[in-house]
């Protein structure tokens, strides 16, 4: 029996309350494949679902990467490093698979069908975020070689596209525009190590919002 939008949204909400974020992802993925022009509520649900699923793995990846480095200076170092590395690579694969799943949904369904400015900026910001998560791995893992610049560039381009639209069409105090500025500044700080640029971008967004609200 086919399910409708309302049922899938309700499933996603229950899954969120139960903290079963994989189930939440499945419900929202189904919804997106049925109707790719999402409401504001539906956009937020798909964002929360994937953010939690990816967030757990990003945290795990950081922990096991740290364990791998520390293991090099302990007893039985070779064995410990080998096991930690294998585990890290497993987590990296899971993380890449989820990020690529999100990026495919964005590229093929959500961004092309975003009729409103809010939706377009929201999805482009999301695209920048998930390329940034891939860039974190690429930068840490030198073995990825040529893939590193590609995901970094794609993240930067997505953020820039969103930022250009937001500056032209959205109020400086709009939460999506402010969230975009924050995440774009994180990209400059953590990925490009452009600390001055990151601070300038965040400060400008703050100053613009304050000026608008006065």
Nearest CA among 129, 146, 145 for reference residue 191? 129
Q: Quick one: tokens of 84? A: 């930690």
CA distance 150 to 104: 16
User: Torsion over CA of 78, 74, 141 and 83, rounded to 10 degrees?
Assistant: 50
Residue 46 placed within a domain? yes
- Residues 183 and 147 reside in one and the same domain: yes
- Whether 51 and 60 have beta carbons less than 8 Å apart is answered as no
Asked if residue 171 has pLDDT above 60, the reply is yes
- Residues 7 and 87 reside in one and the same domain: yes
Q: What is the mean pLDDT of residues 25-38?
A: 94
Q: Is residue 145 very low, low, confident or very high in pLDDT (cuts 50, 70, 90)? A: low
Residue 194 placed within a domain? yes
Residue corresponding to tokens 């891939």: 134
Residue 108 placed within a domain? no
- Residues 122 and 97 reside in one and the same domain: no
Say how many Å lie between the first and final Cα of the chain, rounded.
54
Asked if residue 37 has pLDDT above 80, the reply is yes
- Whether 167 and 181 have beta carbons less than 8 Å apart is answered as no
Q: Which of 81-85, 121-125, 136-140, 166-170 has the lowest mean pLDDT?
A: 136-140
| CA 67 to centroid of chain Cα atoms | 24
- Residues 123 and 97 reside in one and the same domain: no
Asked if residue 54 has pLDDT above 80, the reply is yes
Instruction: Supply the CATH number for residue 187's domain.
Output: 1.20.190.20
pLDDT above 90 coverage of the chain, percent: 86
Asked if residue 214 has pLDDT above 80, the reply is no
CA distance 75 to 79: 9
Q: Quick one: tokens of 181? A: 């500025």
Of 47, 74, 101, which residue sits at a domain end?
Answer: 101
- Whether 109 and 32 have beta carbons less than 8 Å apart is answered as yes
pLDDT above 70 coverage of the chain, percent: 96
- Residues 94 and 121 reside in one and the same domain: no
Of 101, 136, 171, which residue sits at a domain end?
Answer: 101
Q: What is the mean pLDDT of residues 95-114?
A: 97
- Residues 93 and 128 reside in one and the same domain: no
Mean pLDDT of the chain: 93
pLDDT at 142: 58
**Considering its fold, how many domains does the chain have in total?**
2
Residue 109 placed within a domain? no
- Residues 94 and 140 reside in one and the same domain: no
- Residues 127 and 206 reside in one and the same domain: yes
- Residues 71 and 123 reside in one and the same domain: no
Residue 24 placed within a domain? yes
Segments forming the whole domain that contains residue 135: 114-214
Q: Which residues contact 36 (CB under 8 A, 6 or more apart)?
A: 109, 110, 112, 113
pLDDT at 146: 52
**Which string of DSSP letters, residue by residue, matches the chain?**
----HHHHHHHHHHHHHTT-HHHHHHHHHHHHHH--S--HHHHHHHHHHHHHHHHHHHHHHHHHHHHHHHHTTSTTHHHHHHHHHHHHHHHHHHHHHHHHHHHHHIIIIITTT--SHHHHHHHHHHHHHHHHHHHHHHHH-GGGTTHHHHHHHHHHHHHHHHHHHHHHHS-TT-HHHHHHHHHHHHIIIIIS--HHHHHHHHHHHHHHHHHHH-
Q: What is the mean pLDDT of residues 102-120?
A: 96
Residue 201 placed within a domain? yes
Residue 32 placed within a domain? yes
Asked if residue 2 has pLDDT above 70, the reply is no
Q: Considering only residues 59 and 212, tell me which one the structure prediction assigns the higher pLDDT.
A: 59
- Residues 120 and 81 reside in one and the same domain: no
- Residues 94 and 125 reside in one and the same domain: no
- Whether 87 and 71 have beta carbons less than 8 Å apart is answered as no
Residue 41 placed within a domain? yes
Q: Is residue 144 very low, low, confident or very high in pLDDT (cuts 50, 70, 90)? A: very low
């Amino acid at each position: 029996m086919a399910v409708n939008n309302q049922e899938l949204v309700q499933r996603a909400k229950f899954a969120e309350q139960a903290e079963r974020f994989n189930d939440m992802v499945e419900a929202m993925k189904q919804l997106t494949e049925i109707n790719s022009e999402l409401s504001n509520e539906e956009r937020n649900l798909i964002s929360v679902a994937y953010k939690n699923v990816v967030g757990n793995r990003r945290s795990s990846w950081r922990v096991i990467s740290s364990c791998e480095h520390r293991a090099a200076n302990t007893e039985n170092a070779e064995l410990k490093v080998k096991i930690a590395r294998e585990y890290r690579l497993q987590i990296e694969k899971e993380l890449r698979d989820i990020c690529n799943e999100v990026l495919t949904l964005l590229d093929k369904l959500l961004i092309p069908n975003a009729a409103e400015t809010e939706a377009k900026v929201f999805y482009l910001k999301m695209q920048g975020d998930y390329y940034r998560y891939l860039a974190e791995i690429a930068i840490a893992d030198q073995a990825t070689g040529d893939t590193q610049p590609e995901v970094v560039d794609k993240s930067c381009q997505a953020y820039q596209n969103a930022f250009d639209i937001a500056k032209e069409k959205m109020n400086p105090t709009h939460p999506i525009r402010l969230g975009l500025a924050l995440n774009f500044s994180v990209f400059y700080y953590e990925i490009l190590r452009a600390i001055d640029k990151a601070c300038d971008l965040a400060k400008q967004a703050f100053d613009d919002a304050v000026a608008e609200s006065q």
